[in-house]
Amino acid sequence: MTQESVISTEVRQWVGRESEPVTLEVERGAIRKFAEAIGDSNPLFNDEAAARRTRYGGMIAPPTFLRSVPLPKLPLPEMPNLRRILDGGSDWEYFQPVWPDDRITAVTRLENVRERRSRLGPMLFTTLKTTYTNQFGQVAATQTSTLIFY
Amino acid sequence: MGKQVYYEDVDVGSEVSSLVKHPTTQQLVKYAGASGDYYQIHYDKDYALSNDLPGVIVHGALKNAFLGQLLTDWIGEEGTLRHLSVQYRSMDVPGDTLTCKGRVTGKEEKDGEHLVHCDIWLENGKGEKTTPGTATVALPSRCRAS
């Protein structure tokens, strides 16, 4: 392990903290617009009449639609020396479909932090887990993402 | 919608039907609007260059969406996506041809579901795997256990 900077010591104290909840009202039009933006013409995500004949009984959202839930203020301290961000990846688990008119509440928790040296200077790898809960209190999905600050 | 794939139709080594995407700068702007991700490295070339990038780059989350579509196209309306994991190892740029691919790595019956595990990845126009990942889907079975 390389020597760690003051930053990661401070960030480490934030591990386990959670963001304030953020809520998104899922609109049918927003699902269609998202599907169009990603270039996915699957009738399940676009065509209410066709989707009604499926076991879902109507349109549902594509798997990564939950990215359109506004990002909460992340449970991280100010890091003035690490202003650039890279998205390292996402790990999704799906439990319930997301339907039009759902009210999805997202909470993001800082799971882990580690620091690496690179040619661009110190890089801080943070693991953040967002839990998406619908209006019935069911967890629809979780997304564990890696955000890299450098 | 295409022909439904069943649990019995796939084996370890079976390929997931591939999906070809041609992201453009216009698509990145549409994705920014639809997802609310307005980080400038995805549409402002000057900003991207000043951040030591080769130019605007494709949102990782858009590549994640492409790999999600790879799976939802393949499993059809009777299949269910359970797990989707992707890692953005290299950047991709608009104008390139991105091909999403997958291969079955395992099958199991668990809690009444017929699960299929896959390796998935996205290749750039040079055939380099920029975005590897894994997925688990539940497929319908031809022999209903219940």
Please tell me which residue of chain A has the smallest CA distance to B73. A42
Q: What is the CATH number of the domain that holds A84?
A: 3.10.129.10
Asked if the structure places residue B33 within a domain, the reply is no
CB B16 within 8 A of CB B5: no
Asked if the structure places residue B121 within a domain, the reply is yes
Question: Domain total for chain A?
Answer: 1
pLDDT mean over A89-118: 96
Residues of A in contact with B1 (CB under 8 A): 42-43
Task: Closest CB to A89: pick one of B65, B80, B88.
Answer: B88
Alpha-carbon span A132 to B141, nearest angstrom: 29
Asked if the structure places residue B131 within a domain, the reply is yes
- Per-residue pLDDT band at A101 (split at 50, 70, 90): very high
CB B137 within 8 A of CB B82: yes
Asked if the structure places residue B42 within a domain, the reply is no
pLDDT mean over B26-51: 96
Chain B residues near any Cβ of chain A (below 8 Å): 1, 21, 27, 30-31, 33-37, 39, 51-52, 59-62, 64-66, 68-69, 71-73, 77-78, 80-88, 133
- Per-residue pLDDT band at B127 (split at 50, 70, 90): very high
Asked if the structure places residue B41 within a domain, the reply is no
CB B66 within 8 A of CB B36: no
Q: Which domain holds residue B81?
A: 10-23+58-138
Cβ contact, residue pair B34, A68, below 8 Å? yes
Question: If you write DSSP's letter for every residue of B65-81 in order, what string do you get?
Answer: HHHHHHHHHHHTTT-EE
Backbone torsions φ then ψ of B75, nearest 5 degrees: -85, -15
Q: Which domain holds residue A16?
A: 6-149
pLDDT in tens, A20-54: 999 999 999 999 999 999 999 999 999 999 999 99
Asked if the structure places residue B32 within a domain, the reply is no
Strands (E), chain B: 15-21, 80-87, 98-110, 113-123, 129-138
Asked if the structure places residue A1 within a domain, the reply is no
Asked if the structure places residue B34 within a domain, the reply is no
Residues of B in contact with A87 (CB under 8 A): 59-61, 88
Q: What is the CATH number of the domain that holds B78?
A: 3.10.129.10
Residues of B in contact with A71 (CB under 8 A): 36
Residues of B in contact with A63 (CB under 8 A): 65, 68, 71-72, 81, 84
SS3 B137: strand
Residues whose CB falls within 8 Å of the CB of residue A92, separated by 6 or more in sequence, listed in order? A63, A64, A141, A142, A143, A144, B83, B84, B85
